[in-house]
Amino acid sequence: MLEIKSLSKIYGSKNGESKKAVDNLTLSIDGGQIMAFIGHNGAGKTTTLKAIAGIIDFDEGQILIDGIDIKKEPMKAKMEIAYLPDNPQLFEHSRGIEQINFICDVFGVSEKEREAKTEFYAKRLGIYDDLGGKISTYSHGMKQKLAIVCALVHNPKVLLMDEPFVGLDPVSSHELKEILKEKSSTGVAIFYSTHVLEVAEKLCSHVAIIKKGKLLCLGKMDEIRGNKDLEQLFLEIENEKNDN
């Protein structure tokens, strides 16, 4: 469902220095899989997710969403994607429901479906009663919940999330885990970045570990972990590569 082939992204700077944020990254995620994307701060996770979502351009490689090339057919590819950024930019002067309706208009979600989906997800995340309020009056967690509802209302085939659990209370965090499991069981491919390894090891079928833009480790969560927990494995891999 999601294929990333030899992706590289270089950020340039005004003084001529450049930074290779993602270096020859190749991975794929089938429908029904949930892959955790983990790595230290600055490893290249957000850059990779933004490239997949078609928000930033990249220098080398190819990204296919259900077989559609994000560079060649960006609009068609984006119709199949939902992207939750690490710091969602919302229409602060609008009401929550207006933000959802805007997303539904963009993705062509019918009136009936948007009402049902909004109620379903917003109630579960505990934001339904607040949708009539101005977004500027929302707390950080409420904005995160609204952004998650916006990501779910149009039935994406590929769900990209950048640290989705940050800011959520324990109840909505639990609900989001359940929602992601349900989405994957309907064939959605889910790729999300996180620093919360305890959740990732329980929730995810697959894991990708990235360091300084390079993929260090990729595969099925159970096979990669063996009898270790994910935190232990992550620390070992980081140290191993530091020694080399």
Binding site for ligand ATP (CB under 6 A): 11, 19, 21, 39, 41-47
Q: Which residues pair with 206 in a beta bridge?
A: 35, 220
Contacts of 35 (CB under 8 A, 6+ apart): 27, 29, 189, 190, 191, 192, 204, 205, 206, 207, 208
Nearest CB to ligand ATP, comparing residues 121 and 191: 191
Closest to ligand ATP by CB, 39 or 164: 39
* Strand pairing category for 158-162 and 81-84: parallel
Nearest to 156 by CA among 209, 201, 192: 192
Q: Cβ 45 to ligand ATP, closest distance in Å? A: 4
Of the pair 8, 155, the CB lying nearest ligand ATP is at: 8
Query: What is the phi/psi pair of residue 130, to 5°?
Result: -100, 0
Please tell me whether residue 55 adopts helix, strand or coil conformation: coil
Distance CA(212)–CA(169), nearest Å, equals 31
Min separation Cβ 62 and ligand ATP, Å: 19
Residue (38 or 153) nearer to ligand ATP, CB: 38
How far apart are alpha carbons 164 and 177 in whole angstroms? Answer: 10
Q: How far is the CB of 212 from ligand ATP (least distance, A)?
A: 8
H-only helix segments in 125-169: 140-152
Q: How far is the CB of 39 from ligand ATP (least distance, A)?
A: 5
Give min distance, CB of 91 to ligand ATP, in A. Answer: 23
Nearest approach, Cβ of residue 32 and ligand ATP (Å): 25
* Token pair in block for residue 188: 């959605």
